[in-house]
Amino acid sequence: MTDENKTVSRLSLHQRIYNIVAEIPPGQVATYGQIARIAGCGARVVGYALASLPANRPLCWHRVVNARGEVSLRSSGDSHSRQRRILTEEGVIFNPKGRIDFGQFRWNGPGWIWLEQHGYDPDLPI
């Protein structure tokens, strides 16, 4: 294991999740499960990590949606409508049922070189 990989393996799980989410480009979305597979955790852990994101941390949290292609409802605040508005501003289209077409907007995940360079398993099915 390289020194860089040792450093990455010591990163907190939340930091690993944030690193992956930061790679999602504007106008594309990923699911909680997709991020979880890359990070090596459960989809709910991804949700908890994004919910506990420090307010001063710039991260494209809004690009993570549920497996149905919907913005997940939250117990507090207006983050649901805010998330939908930001995605729409980035060019993501919601159908009349409030779902995103994964065929058009789903992020295919980071490339194997990025995965390898950042200490993730490049052979993961994403």
CATH number of 3-101: 1.10.10.10
Provide the pLDDT for residue 7: 45
pLDDT number for residue 77: 66
Which regions in the chain score pLDDT beneath 70? 1-11, 75-78, 122, 124-126
Count Cβ atoms within 10 A of the Cβ of residue 69 and give its class: 0-12 exposed, 13-18 middle, 19 or more buried.
buried
pLDDT computed for residue 17 by the predictor: 95
Q: Residue 75: what pLDDT?
A: 63
d(CA 23, CA 75): 27
If we measure between CA atoms, which residue out of 93, 98, 91, 126 comes closest to residue 112?
126
